[in-house]
Structure 1
Amino acid sequence: MQDRSLVDTLAEDPRWDAFGLHDIAEGAATAALSHLGLAPDGFEISLMGCDDARIAVLNTEFRGKPKPTNVLSWPSEDRMAEDEGGTPEPPEPGEEDDPESLGDIAIAWETCEREAAQQKKPMKDHVTHLVIHATLHLMGYDHETEADAELMEGIEIAILGGLGLANPYE
């Protein structure tokens, strides 16, 4: 039984607290790690729920793109697979009282809200997908090449399906 949270959540924008970001993120990240065969109690993720203004600053600083985006992730270490389309090596879990940090995620309210409306889906489903997507980035998955994107999207679709959510790529 897990006594602590996998996701350490900071809601910089109070709309995220009212939305229930922590519980949604906890469920999404747990589903992602479990799908990969990892016990969530050996890991920790830091998540910041912010607004578009804050994520635009982060996107500029870390990616050189001076605009808001939906989600950003910073793995605690490079876990990328050596081969294109290859599966990254899973990290070793820490102890329950000293979990292995997978890294940090930031998610932006306005962009998520707008995208969910444009895609005609509940924001909860969209945020669940984005947290799964970001968690996979922390695990070394990426979508820079077609082979990498195919692998990552297939895993996302499977995890979302296990949660009863639709394929976001259709």
Structure 2
Amino acid sequence: MIELDLIIEEDRWSAIPDLEAVCQTAFKAGATVEPAKGVVSLLLADNDALQALNLQFRAKDKPTDVLSFPADPMDRPLLGDIAVAFGVAEADAGAQGKSLADHLTHLLIHGYLHLLGHDHEITHDAETMEGLEIKALASLGIDNPYLMN
């Protein structure tokens, strides 16, 4: 079971009805395809916050949609931290023709899988990670985000 520690720093996230339930459902779906138990600390912030984190931890001076910071195994039950930028997520959802709630769900499953060690830097690993995301999203009735419209 995944326990959620939710921190909402950007009020515009309230555009998603039942926001905390959406987040919990996303992590539950992620845990059905890649089981884990522990705590995920989730920061729902704005683009400026994600840009600062992206610069500090990845040396990239631009906002990004989602960042994941896996915890050290010594810090269990903490699995790690995930941060999501409202502006980038909202723009991407609109560009992809999907609801913000569905896109956030995808970003959280993606971030959760990163906490568990999955990555998408090489093709084989990307295919594995995307397959898990697709399966978790399908369990919630959300379409494959990697299919072109």
TM over 0.5, yes or no? yes
Q: Do the aligned partners of 2:32 and 2:136 also contact (CA within 8 Å) in 1?
A: no
Identity %: 42
After superposition, give the CA deviation of every residue in 1:74-97 in whole Å (9 maximum; x if it has no partner): 00037xxxxxxxxxxxxxxxxxxx
Q: Do the aligned partners of 2:13 and 2:44 also contact (CA within 8 Å) in 1?
A: yes
Distance 1:138 1:121 in 2: 25
For residue 59 of structure 1, the aligned residue among 54, 62, 74 is 54
The CA deviation at 1:143 is 0.2
The CA deviation at 1:23 is 1.7
Question: What is aligned with 2:8?
Answer: 11
* Secondary structure, aligned partner of 1:47: strand
- Consecutive unaligned residues in structure 1, runs of 5 or more: 79-98
Q: Return structure 1 stretches of 4+ with deviation > 6 angstroms.
A: none
Give aligned pairs, total.
145
Q: What do you get for the CA RMSD once the two structures are aligned?
A: 1.8
Give the number of the structure whose residues are more often helix, by fraction.
2
Question: What is aligned with 1:44?
Answer: 39
Question: What is aligned with 2:113?
Answer: 136
Q: Output the amino acid matched with 2:8.
A: A
The CA deviation at 1:37 is 3.6
Q: Output the amino acid matched with 1:114.
A: A
After superposition, give the CA deviation of every residue in 1:119-169 in whole Å (9 maximum; x if it has no partner): 011111100000000000001100011010010000000110111000000
Distance 1:100 1:12 in 2: 24
Q: Output the amino acid matched with 1:29.
A: F
Within-5 A mapping of 1:20-99: 20-38=18-36, 42-77=37-72
The CA deviation at 1:21 is 3.2
The CA deviation at 1:18 is 4.7
**What TM-score, normalized by structure 1, do the two folds share?**
0.80
* Secondary structure, aligned partner of 2:21: helix
Distance 2:46 2:58 in 1: 17
* Secondary structure, aligned partner of 2:27: helix
Q: Output the amino acid matched with 2:10.
A: D
Distance 1:138 1:34 in 2: 15
Q: Do the aligned partners of 1:21 and 1:49 also contact (CA within 8 Å) in 2?
A: no
Q: Do the aligned partners of 2:9 and 2:43 also contact (CA within 8 Å) in 1?
A: yes
Query: Are 2:79 and 1:102 aligned?
Result: yes
Q: Output the amino acid matched with 1:6.
A: E
- Consecutive unaligned residues in structure 2, runs of 5 or more: none
